[in-house]
Amino acid sequence: MSSTRAAEPAVGDAFRLRGASIGYGDVPVVKDVDLTVARGEAVAVLGSNGSGKTTLVRGLLGLAAVLGGEVRVLGHPVGHARVRRAIGYVPQRHTVTGAVPATVREVVSVGRLARLGVLRRPGAADRAAVANAVAAVGLADRLRDPVASLSGGQQRRVLVARALAAEPELLVMDEPTAGVDAASQATLAAVLARVAATGTTLVVVTHEPGALADVLTRAVVADHGRISYDGPLAGADGFASSDHHHPPTGPAGDYLEPEHLRLRASGREY
């Protein structure tokens, strides 16, 4: 997709964990982890079920609690407004079926909200970013269709487009290829290669790194909440667990609906 954001030199950290413990309530799942990812890197997060991969990336997004140590994203503490605008997220397992019969364009437009702020109305650049993101995932001909009328794999691609529409500096994807057919995985790999080429940092939680092997260069393997391997993706052979992946089932209502409603309530059309 084209980007309105000029490629910036990849300087500094995309994120940095120092002795970081991340979890839920007061229970750490990720324990005492040191990890630095530089801007512009493309990193796979691998490991078996329950090893803490999702919790690790949710810690970057402020969706899991930092219980100890330090987590900084783009040089800022987690939850900083600058970080919220700069980070794109494709959550795990969610499809887009829910109570709100949103169209593809509406769901993808939600990805622009953080950039727009409360007051600014969408302009040509916003509409172009949405259209480009939808085209990038191969769904341009479905722009006006209700998302609920798409297949599970197509709905995953809508969520990828929603994250791309924000033109994020850091794109975090949790199992983006789960339940997506081989042709669509190849499309996604091509999209991510173009996104990476603009200097965007990629972090992809996956059980299927092979599908994105041309894009992801570094692998981090989680094991019982700790990092057991950090190095070239090629050297992580055998760590990727293919014993299981989640079918993309279940409503995404908790994550999507309030934002859909906000978009509609604001009367802002794309």
Ligand X SMILES: Nc1ncnc2c1ncn2[C@@H]1O[C@H](COP(=O)(O)OP(=O)(O)OP(=O)(O)O)[C@@H](O)[C@H]1O
Class of residue 220 by CB neighbours under 10 A (exposed 0-12, middle 13-18, buried 19+): buried
Instruction: Give min distance, CB of 55 to ligand X, in A.
Output: 3
Instruction: Give min distance, CB of 129 to ligand X, in A.
Output: 29
Which of 60, 70, 67 has the alpha carbon at shortest distance from 34? 70
Considering only the stretches 35-43, 46-54, 191-199, 255-263, report the one whose residues sit in contact with ligand X under the rule CB under 6 A.
46-54
Nearer to ligand X, 47 or 98 (CB): 47
CB 16 within 8 A of CB 71: yes
Count residues binding ligand X (CB under 6 A).
11
Q: Does 12 bind ligand X (CB under 6 A)?
A: no
Q: Does 49 bind ligand X (CB under 6 A)?
A: yes
Q: Does 55 bind ligand X (CB under 6 A)?
A: yes
If DSSP codes are grouped into helix, strand and coil, which group holds residue 128?
A: helix
CB 216 within 8 A of CB 236: no
Q: Does 248 bind ligand X (CB under 6 A)?
A: no
Whole-angstrom Cα distance, residue 97 to residue 165? Answer: 20
Of 14, 16, 21, 51, the one binding ligand X (CB under 6 A) is: 51
Considering only the stretches 48-56, 112-120, 184-192, 194-202, report the one whose residues sit in contact with ligand X under the rule CB under 6 A.
48-56
Scanning residues 85 to 104, which ones bind ligand X (CB under 6 A)? none
Nearer to ligand X, 29 or 161 (CB): 29
- CA dihedral 258→85→123→149, nearest 10 degrees, is -40
Tokens 């993101």: give the residue: 133
Q: Does 121 bind ligand X (CB under 6 A)?
A: no
Instruction: Give min distance, CB of 220 to ligand X, in A.
Output: 12
Q: Does 52 bind ligand X (CB under 6 A)?
A: yes
Q: Does 54 bind ligand X (CB under 6 A)?
A: yes
Q: Does 24 bind ligand X (CB under 6 A)?
A: yes
Nearer to ligand X, 17 or 116 (CB): 17
Q: Does 59 bind ligand X (CB under 6 A)?
A: no
Handedness of CA 189, 194, 196, 200 (dihedral sign): negative
Which of 47, 38, 51 has the alpha carbon at shortest distance from 200? 38
How is residue 167 written in tokens? 């033109």
Scanning residues 214 to 233, which ones bind ligand X (CB under 6 A)? 222
Which of 226, 255, 266 has the alpha carbon at shortest distance from 91? 255
Residue 232: phi, psi to the nearest 5? -60, 145
Nearer to ligand X, 40 or 47 (CB): 47
CB 88 within 8 A of CB 111: yes
Instruction: Give min distance, CB of 50 to ligand X, in A.
Output: 4
Instruction: Give min distance, CB of 128 to ligand X, in A.
Output: 34
Whole-angstrom Cα distance, residue 42 to residue 218? Answer: 6
Whole-angstrom Cα distance, residue 210 to residue 214? Answer: 8
Nearer to ligand X, 45 or 161 (CB): 45
Which residues bind to ligand X, rule: CB under 6 A?
Answer: 24, 29, 47, 49-55, 222
